Amino acid sequence: MTDASGAGLPATGVPTCYRHPDRETYISCQRCGRPICPDCMRDAAVGFQCPNCVAEGAKTTRSGRTAYGGLRSANPQLTTLVLIGVNALVFLMITASGGSRSRLVEWLALVPQGRCDSVNDPGFYFPGVTSAETCTSSAVGVWRPGVDDGAYWQLVTSAFTHVEVWHFGFNMLALWVLGPQLEAAIGRTRFLVLYFGSALAGSAMVYWFSPVGGYTLGASGAIFGLMSGLLVVAYKVKGNVQGILIWVGVNVLITVVGRGFISWQGHLGGFLGGLLIAIAVVYAPRTRRTLAQSLGVGAVLLVVLVAIVARSAVLP
């Protein structure tokens, strides 16, 4: 005869292991309650479990990785706080050293082509002067380096540079809202790749389509990349994307209305870069996922870098 759990019972009524019916035992699995012999005992937090329950528990235990292969962050807010801290430090240094007239702005903001700024009239520059030697040969000009003449760091540092407090505040608020959600969804490393990749894509678009003598600054390109990244994640999990689309739409409207002083180039480049990077991360196949993600993201970044090099080649 058998008991209710399916384990065999000999005529004496002594329970037997449900996996080895020929072995008598008085030990039960702490999870399912079925009798198990010493060979089937597996250590658990309390008592012992059978091999089947251990296997089932392994399936249901929360994985140490996100759904897209990244390691889960113990604190998804930490990376965002560090990024905000770096932006805040640069903002305070610029404010303390003269704001819009700070030499830090000249070095950190993105200028496609070097220009000769007027010493006596801040904000004015001499468009006909295209070399540092000519500019500094007189006492009226100071040379401001651009990406075209070697200041490639500006492609990244411009994303950490703010002058106006409203600009800094708005970008950091958006980063605080978007950052932790994305890090929790895709992991810290992939989040950082998305952030910096979007910033670089925005800078590449600025390099191509902004006036060569103008300067561009702010984290908006990276922020727009995070918006498109969150949109991709929400669409993948069949979540409600309406709220994200409304937020994107409002920001696009602000960009269009304020295009005279807002860099639509940086916003568009960041959005497209973030969109492509997020697609590469989120839609990578499960088999060899990390390799597929690396190749996809690498392809996007390679296109961005080629665009930067090509722009330098065509500038006079």
User: What is the per-residue pLDDT across 85-141, written as a single tens digit (0 to 9) for each?
Assistant: 999 999 999 999 998 888 899 899 999 988 888 777 766 777 777 777 777 777 677
Report the percent of the chain where pLDDT is more than 70.
91
Which of these, 273, 166, 172, 267, lies nearest to 221 by C-alpha position?
267
Structure tokens at 22: 């020929």
Angle at 47 between CA 46 and CA 53, to 5 degrees: 90
Q: Are 35 and 28 in contact (CB under 8 A)?
A: yes
Domain ranges of the chain: 1-61, 78-111+146-314
Report the percent of the chain where pLDDT is more than 90.
53
Architecture of the domain spanning 78-111+146-314: Up-down Bundle (1.20)
What is the pLDDT at residue 65?
Answer: 83
Given a cut of 60, whether residue 7 has pLDDT beyond it is: no
What DSSP element (H or E) covers 86? Answer: helix 78-96
Given a cut of 50, whether residue 314 has pLDDT beyond it is: yes
User: What is the per-residue pLDDT across 172-187, written as a single tens digit (0 to 9) for each?
Assistant: 999 999 999 999 999 9
Q: Are 104 and 93 in contact (CB under 8 A)?
A: yes
Count helices and strands (H / E) in the chain: 11, 5
What is the pLDDT at residue 215?
Answer: 85
Which of these, 150, 35, 163, lies nearest to 109 by C-alpha position?
163
Of 31-45, 85-99, 104-118, 206-220, the range with the lowest mean pLDDT is: 31-45
Which of these, 67, 66, 110, 84, lies nearest to 269 by C-alpha position?
110
- Rounded mean pLDDT of the chain? 87
pTM given for the model: 0.78
Three-class secondary structure of residue 220 per DSSP: helix
Structure tokens at 155: 């492609």
Q: By CB neighbour count within 10 A (0-12 exposed, 13-18 middle, 19+ buried), where does 219 fall?
A: buried
Higher pLDDT, 44 or 18: 18
